[in-house]
């Protein structure tokens, strides 16, 4: 959607360049996933260093000499630190942002340490694997993911990352929920693409929508009697064109799935009333296509 919007705004006809940027952006999303997982590891390390320094104080208190190590021994955090696949991805992609910008690790550790979640968790010195996992999920959802300073950092770091953040955070939560035991040292990281067809879909819908853009624009004409083409938001046009493309160029995707998917995208990225407007247009077009046999769908339940 963003790549199609960019082409329209710049009036570019260089599909190869835009496709390359599209795939680059998707790769960058995976890097964001990796560094956000890495952030959990770095927070644990920072906490361990904090305790070690406290123990070495000349006038250390009894609590500092014999600290509660429950957080730094959290089994889920230790599993992440030991995860070979995560280490390999970090090394391969040279992802060292938390070494260069470790102040954000310190900020998050401070917020965690001062939270009620941490106080409740540290009220005992022993815990079950389930308690460890629930605690990591809670601090990620309630402290790390919504942190404003981290959001600003991510926004400044990479142009495309802010839009990817909700999906990435959801993927991390799903991954953590699947961890079953402290012996699960090789918990697999999710793949960027499910398979080769998944990657091909991204480039196919981009190219097919771009190459048929003029034809799809004509389809929109006449379906908006109270709107001039110039009054339709460019982002809404891109969304409608992509949906039309799925109607006629992707036989295996049900019409209802297409409409629902693009309505969700409109709610997330466009104006408050866009989803209602887009729903009306797509409903008219899909019914017209169904009547004249233009819907190219195969399989039961796809109409």
Write down the pLDDT at residue 301.
46
Q: What integer pLDDT is reported at residue 298 of this predicted model?
A: 66
Using DSSP's 3-state secondary structure scheme, residue 274 falls into helix
- One digit per residue, the tens of pLDDT, for the chain of length 303 reads 888 888 888 777 788 888 998 999 899 999 999 999 999 999 999 999 988 876 666 666 666 567 789 999 999 999 999 999 999 999 999 998 999 999 999 999 999 999 999 999 999 988 899 999 999 999 999 999 999 999 999 999 988 898 899 989 999 999 999 888 766 655 778 888 888 998 999 999 999 999 998 899 888 876 765 555 555 678 888 999 999 999 999 998 999 999 999 999 998 888 878 888 899 999 999 999 988 888 877 654 454
Tokens of 12: 């570019």
User: Is residue 133 a contact partner of residue 178, using CB atoms and an 8 Å limit?
Assistant: no
- pLDDT for the residue 114: 96
Which of these, 69, 50, 78, 89, lies nearest to 136 by C-alpha position? 78
Contact 295, 303 (CB under 8 A): yes
Backbone angles phi and psi of 228, in degrees to 5:
-80, 155
Task: Dump pLDDT digits (tens) for 196-219.
Answer: 998 999 999 999 999 998 899 888
Alpha helices of the chain — where are they, by DSSP H?
A: 2-10, 15-55, 62-65, 75-82, 84-92, 97-100, 103-113, 116-121, 129-139, 148-157, 161-178, 196-211, 213-220, 234-249, 255-269, 274-291
Residue 146 CA to residue 100 CA, distance in Å, equals 22
Cα 280 to Cα 20, 187, 240, 242, 276: the distances in Å are 33, 45, 11, 15, 6
Ordered by where they begin, the domains of the chain are 1-178 (no CATH), 195-292 (1.10.940.10)
Q: Check residue 111 and give its pLDDT.
A: 97
């Amino acid at each position: 959607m963003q790549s199609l919007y960019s082409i329209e705004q710049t009036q570019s006809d260089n599909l190869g360049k835009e496709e390359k940027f599209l795939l680059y952006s998707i790769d960058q999303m995976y890097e964001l996933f990796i560094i956000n997982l890495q952030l959990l590891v770095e927070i644990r390390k920072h906490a361990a260093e904090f305790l070690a320094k406290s123990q070495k104080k000349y006038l250390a208190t009894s609590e500092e000499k014999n600290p509660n190590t429950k957080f730094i021994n959290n089994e889920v955090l230790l599993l992440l630190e030991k995860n070979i696949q995560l280490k390999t991805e970090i090394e391969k992609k040279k992802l060292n942002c938390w070494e260069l910008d470790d102040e954000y690790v310190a900020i998050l550790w401070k917020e965690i340490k001062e939270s009620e979640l941490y106080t409740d968790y540290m009220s005992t010195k022993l815990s079950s694997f389930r308690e460890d996992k629930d605690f990591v999920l809670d601090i990620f959802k309630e402290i790390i993911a919504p942190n404003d300073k981290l959001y600003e950092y991510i926004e400044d770091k990479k142009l495309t990352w802010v839009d990817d953040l909700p999906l990435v955070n959801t993927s991390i939560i799903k991954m953590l929920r699947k961890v079953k035991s402290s012996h699960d040292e090789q918990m697999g990281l999710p793949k960027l693409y499910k398979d080769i067809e998944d990657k091909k879909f991204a480039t196919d819908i981009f190219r097919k929508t771009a190459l048929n853009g003029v034809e799809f624009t004509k389809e929109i004409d006449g379906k908006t009697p109270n709107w001039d083409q110039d009054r339709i938001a460019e982002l809404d046009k891109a969304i409608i064109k992509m949906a039309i493309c799925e109607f006629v160029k992707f036989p295996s995707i049900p019409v209802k799935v297409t409409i629902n998917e693009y309505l969700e995208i409109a709610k997330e990225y466009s104006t408050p009333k866009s989803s209602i407007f887009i729903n009306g247009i797509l409903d008219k077009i899909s019914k017209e296509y169904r009547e004249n046999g233009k819907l190219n769908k195969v399989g039961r339940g796809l109409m």
